[in-house]
């Protein structure tokens, strides 16, 4: 509660994410997690936000050929927006099914592409919106409330 | 179970995180696909994996996992060690297979990480 009082203004973090860069992938989510720890969010809320951010970041790395991961932190909520300029998703309902993945074998060899990313972001969030246009890209927005 | 006992059970080498060895581990998750592991969210648990890359340490960081054990003698890279040290995550290696490692830990009373993640 004390840290909530100390947070006098909203914090916006914005990270450009490179496509197919598996070495620095995760750095943005790590910074987001660290910032939430400094502000004083509870470990359970931080974990949900960190997982959602990391899944969204990895989606940009794997599918998106680059994009931006933006986080707006207010005293009440954490708002994550992942925007990429990738191929887009033709069938969003299918992409939201656990286990469905279009990731090729070389991505699975890196430990990703289990078809759990988008469903996991939704499970970690209080609000979840996805918008995608084939040939243009995808925007995923996830909101996690403090209480 | 203390991480020390666990490492003895798996006859594991400790690469970093000696300071974590008194941590108590109650839950274990295992797998090579990090995107499958990311649905588990039980802090201070152990991850068993055959995958060796930076994203294993990143996954452990996001999930607040206390220690990672690599199976079949696979060793973490210098980059992984550096990141794990920064984040306070112990990295160990056992020569045992995934199946045997899981079996030994299960027999010793360690539990499966509960799913699903969200309430």
Which of B33, B41, B116 lies at the smallest CB-CB distance from A111? B33
Domain span including residue B17: 3-112
B32 touches chain A (CB under 8 A): yes
Model confidence, pTM: 0.93
Tens of pLDDT, residue by residue over A3-29, are 454 677 899 999 999 999 988 999 999
- What are the distances in angstroms from CA B92 to CA A9, A72, A127, B17, B66? 42, 37, 38, 9, 11
With respect to residue B39, please indicate whether it lies within any of the assigned structural domains. Answer: yes
Q: A44-74 as b/e, with b when 16 or more CB fall inside 10 Å? A: ebbbbbbbbbbbbbbbbbbbbebbbbbbebe
Residues for chain A: how many in total? 147
Tens of pLDDT, residue by residue over B11-26, are 999 999 988 888 999 9
Per the prediction, chain B carries an average pLDDT of 93
Strands A11-17 and A67-73 come out as: antiparallel
With respect to residue B118, please indicate whether it lies within any of the assigned structural domains. Answer: no
Which of B38, B43, B55 lies at the smallest CB-CB distance from A120? B38
CATH entry, A2-145, from 1.10.357.10, 3.30.70.580, 3.30.565.10, 3.40.50.300: 3.30.565.10
Give the mean pLDDT of A43-64. Answer: 94
Chain B nearest C-alpha distance from A137 (Å): 21
Q: What is the pLDDT of residue B119?
A: 43
C-alpha torsion B39→B118→A34→B71, nearest 10? -20
With respect to residue B117, please indicate whether it lies within any of the assigned structural domains. Answer: no
Query: How is chain A split into domains, by residue range?
Result: 2-145
With respect to residue B37, please indicate whether it lies within any of the assigned structural domains. Answer: yes
The answer, yes or no, to whether residue B117 has pLDDT greater than 50, is no
| Dist CA B71 CA B99 (whole Å) | 10
Q: What is the pLDDT of residue B116?
A: 62
Q: What is the pLDDT of residue B84?
A: 97
Which range, of A43-52, B15-24, B79-88, B99-108, averages the lowest pLDDT?
B15-24
| Total count of domains within chain B | 1
Q: Which residue would you say has higher pLDDT here, B58 or A22?
A: B58
With respect to residue B86, please indicate whether it lies within any of the assigned structural domains. Answer: yes
Point out which residues pair with A72 in neighbouring strands. Answer: A12, A79
């Amino acid at each position: 509660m004390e840290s909530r009082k100390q947070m006098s203004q909203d914090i916006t973090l914005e990270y450009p994410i490179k496509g197919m860069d598996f070495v620095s992938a995760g750095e943005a989510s790590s910074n987001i997690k660290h910032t939430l720890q400094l502000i004083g969010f509870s470990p359970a809320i931080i974990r949900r936000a960190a997982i959602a951010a990391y899944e969204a970041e990895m989606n940009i790395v794997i599918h998106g050929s680059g994009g931006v991961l933006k986080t707006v932190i207010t005293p009440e909520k954490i708002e994550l927006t992942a925007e990429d300029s990738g191929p887009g998703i033709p069938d969003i309902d299918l992409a939201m099914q656990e286990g469905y993945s279009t990731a090729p074998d070389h991505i699975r060899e890196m430990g990703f592409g289990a078809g759990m990313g988008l469903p996991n972001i939704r499970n970690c969030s209080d609000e979840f919106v996805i918008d995608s246009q084939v040939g243009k890209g995808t925007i995923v927005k996830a909101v996690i409330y403090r209480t | 179970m203390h991480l020390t006992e666990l490492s003895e059970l798996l006859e594991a080498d400790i690469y970093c995180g000696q300071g974590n060895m008194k941590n108590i581990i109650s839950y274990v998750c295992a797998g090579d696909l990090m995107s499958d592991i990311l649905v588990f969210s039980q802090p201070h648990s152990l991850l068993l994996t055959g995958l060796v890359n930076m994203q294993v340490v990143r996954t452990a960081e996001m999930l607040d996992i206390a220690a990672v054990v690599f199976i079949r003698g696979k060793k973490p890279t210098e980059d992984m060690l550096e990141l794990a040290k920064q984040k306070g995550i112990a990295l160990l290696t056992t020569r045992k297979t995934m199946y045997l490692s899981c079996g030994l830990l299960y027999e010793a009373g360690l539990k499966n990480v509960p799913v699903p993640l969200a309430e």
